[in-house]
Structure 1
Amino acid sequence: MNVLLTCAGRRNYLVKFFQEALKNRGQVFASDFSADAAALQEADKSFVLPLVKQSDYFDKVAQICEEYQIRLLIPLIDLELPLLAKQRERFLKIGTLPVISSPTVVDICYDKWATFEFLSGYGLAVPKTYLSLAEARKALIEGIISFPLMVKPRWGSASVGVVTAEDDDELDIAYRFVSKHIPRTSLADANAIDAQRCILIQERLSGQEHGLDIVNDLEGNHVTTFVKRKLSMVIGETDRAITVEDEKLKELGHVIGQKLGHIGNLDCDVIVNQNGCYVIDMNPRFGGGYPFSHMAGANLPAALIAWANGEKPDMSWLKVEANIMSSKCDRLVTNLRNI
């Protein structure tokens, strides 16, 4: 079996995890728009592709999948998910299984207003969220929310354009900044879907942040949830974390996994405080927190390979040992090949 990781960037750890899971029974391929991307230097074979938004991107991906008999296609960035979700049948016809949720599920996660509505619709705790300055100001006057507040793109990724406002003046400044900033970023096209309502104002919650890997099988059935307590963040991504045994958070993952019905991993962020467990974000892909689960014994790459082969995964791959603390670090990769 061959596996293709798209938009692999600097996720060398995922290249390694899949190579180890395959045990020389196949190869791990990686693609990116930059030939210098670190993950491309350590994959078994690598490809430079156009940007995701370019019209020939999926033609190129499909050509690679067909030529190299790719069985599993693993997308790794939010911008690719809504586009690939609509192309799923195309890849299935050539024998490639994209690990991608339905367009509806992807939209629920990518559109943070839809995330708020989905979660609150099932009675799950979420930060109070507003689609306009007027609504947020009304809530402030009525004492429903208080500063600090978060101002961020409705269709968001990687903390791009997220600003904290500590008072009313800063709220004005933050809103104007985000309005001007979004069109200059990779989020411009997505937020143009509803340009008049593409900014969210959300209460900033205090408490301990946790990361969940909510694991569903390839049919969308919930299997397990891995829980980590975040210890440090860098540019919106978990940098240090410790695995924990928390039945309340595992049950939360179970409910979300069942109700959402996503495919594969759902990277989910939760704030825990004295008032409850608040879901603040969901992304239906491998997230920056997964390596901490892997270091504690999980092996989702092996489970995905088994499911794709019609096999039952080893149950040890779907468990983590509690109290395992791990930290990320940078390392250098020499570019030795022509890609």
Structure 2
Amino acid sequence: MNRVILVTAIGGDVGHSILKCLKNESDVLIGCDIDSHPVGLDVVDKFFSSLPAGNEDYISQISNKCKIYNVTHLVPVSEHEIEAIIHHLDIFERLNVKVLINRKEIVDICLDKYLTAQRLEHLGLDIPEYFSKDNFVADGRKYIVKFRKSCGSKLLTIITTQKELDKISSSVSELLIIQEYIDASDEEYTVGVFSDGKEIRIISFQRRLQGGYTKFVKLVDDSSITRDAIIAAQGLGLVGSFNIQLRKSGGKNYIFEINPRISGTVNFRHQLGFEDVRWWLDMMDEREVQPYVKKYKSAIGIREMNEKFLLLS
């Protein structure tokens, strides 16, 4: 029986990349986005414009669309959607819709950068020094200020003084985290991690960012990164997929973030045989999860721009 998969936020880099991973399969693909004309329209079989995840009718809309299209699997993509849906899984269970989402504990911890840092510190992993607004004391070093709950490159301001922090905190209402700035942008890595509860699979890329998105990746085989990713996955009880971001400096892997979702590099790794979207779907359906075959020892990936016309009836 073919699956009917609803992928949200298809206009973003993550949602669009997930569609690329699934488009050659026999599954029926349904897409939605708050943009009425997102990229990916030509990939999905059906599309609808969705409400923002913060809207009080968002869950009702998504669950109703699941009924209309006989959806069997739901893939929430953005952090806001994941946070909304994790509190209403019972609604989708009653509809027999399987949701590709991590356990609530993982979502709660990893959507909050401060809680993530606390957990990683407890696990004995290397992390940048971190502070809340109230316990930060400037010492002349560089620090990076972020929202505790955010996605992409929102805010992300480098500071060196208390005055700079005060100016930021007075202009926003959200909670902040202040992290030691690891000045090693050429040594930034993104790590895909999948676990079926028994085996943990890892793929690591050195990456370069452009405008908050991964522009370039280079496949790496670093035993210390693999070790730390396994510790994080085991310590958080991962069953599914998440993404670790870190910078290397002074022989240490400073983990500064974990995204509790499929990441924007999913299609890069899918093309190299690390098919975590497919594995996650199969695991939820209690099908055999195919082995991870490492196709290449070295590879680079480049995200390119593209233009196309769509014929709309």
TM-score (norm 1): 0.84
Q: 1:159 to 1:222 in 2, by over 3 A?
A: farther
Tell me which residue corresponds to 1:56.
57
Separation of aligned partners in 1, 2:240 and 2:254: 22
Contact 1:295 1:326 (C-alpha < 8 Å) held by counterparts:
no
Identify the residue that residue 158 of structure 2 maps to in structure 1.
164
The whole-number CA distance in structure 1 between the counterparts of 2:123 and 2:4 is 39
Distance 1:226 1:123, change over 3 A: same
1:266 & 1:43 partners in 2: Cα distance?
24
- Paired residue for 1:325, among 300, 303, 309? 300
What SS does the aligned partner of 2:286 have?
coil
TM-score (norm: length of structure 2): 0.91
* Per-residue CA distance 1:263-300 (angstroms, 9 max, x = gap): 42211101112241111111111112222212322222
Backbone CA RMSD of aligned residues:
2.0
Q: Does 1:212 align with 2:178?
A: no
State how many pairs are aligned: 307
1:299 aligns with 2:278: no
Tell me the equivalent position of 2:17.
Answer: 13
1:247 corresponding residue in structure 2? 223
Q: What SS is found at the alignment partner of 1:136? A: coil
The one of 267, 285, 298 aligned to 2:243:
267
Work out the CA distance in 2 between the residues paired with 1:49 and 1:335. 20
The one of 195, 201, 221 equivalent to 1:224 is 201
Matched, 1:173 2:154: no
Q: Whose helix fraction is larger, Structure 1's or Structure 2's? A: 1
**Amino acid in structure 2 at the alignment position of 1:249:** I
Any conservation in 2 of the 1:109–1:284 contact (CA below 8 Å)? yes
Which runs of structure 2 are paired with 1:192-211 in the superposition (5 Å)? 198-207=175-184, 208-211=187-190
Displacement of 1:221 in angstroms is 4.9
Most deviating of 77-86 and 37-46: 37-46
Judged with a 3 Å threshold, the aligned counterparts in structure 2 of structure 1 residues 173 and 206 are, in CA distance, closer, same or farther, namely closer
Residue 143 of structure 1 is matched in structure 2 by none
* Residues in 1 aligned to 2:198 and 2:108: alpha-carbon distance in whole angstroms: 19
TM-aligned CA deviation for residue 164 of structure 1: 0.7
CA displacement at 1:222 relative to structure 2: 4.9
**Equivalent position of 2:266 in the other structure:** 290
Partner of 1:4: 6
1:92 aligns to what SS in structure 2?
helix
Contact 1:40–1:47 under 8 Å retained in 2: no
Establish whether residue 122 from structure 1 lines up as the match of residue 98 from structure 2. Answer: no
State the shift of 1:43 in Å. 1.2
Q: Structure 1: any 5+ residue segments left out of the alignment?
A: 141-145, 184-190, 192-197
> In terms of mean alpha carbon deviation, does 265-274 or 296-305 score higher?
296-305
CA distance in 2, matches of 1:334, 1:160: 31
Cα pair 2:86 2:104 within 8 Å, conserved: yes
How far apart, in 1, do the equivalents of 2:5 and 2:22 lie? 8
Paired residues of 1:179 and 1:199 also in contact (CA < 8 A)? no
Letter in 2 for 1:214: V
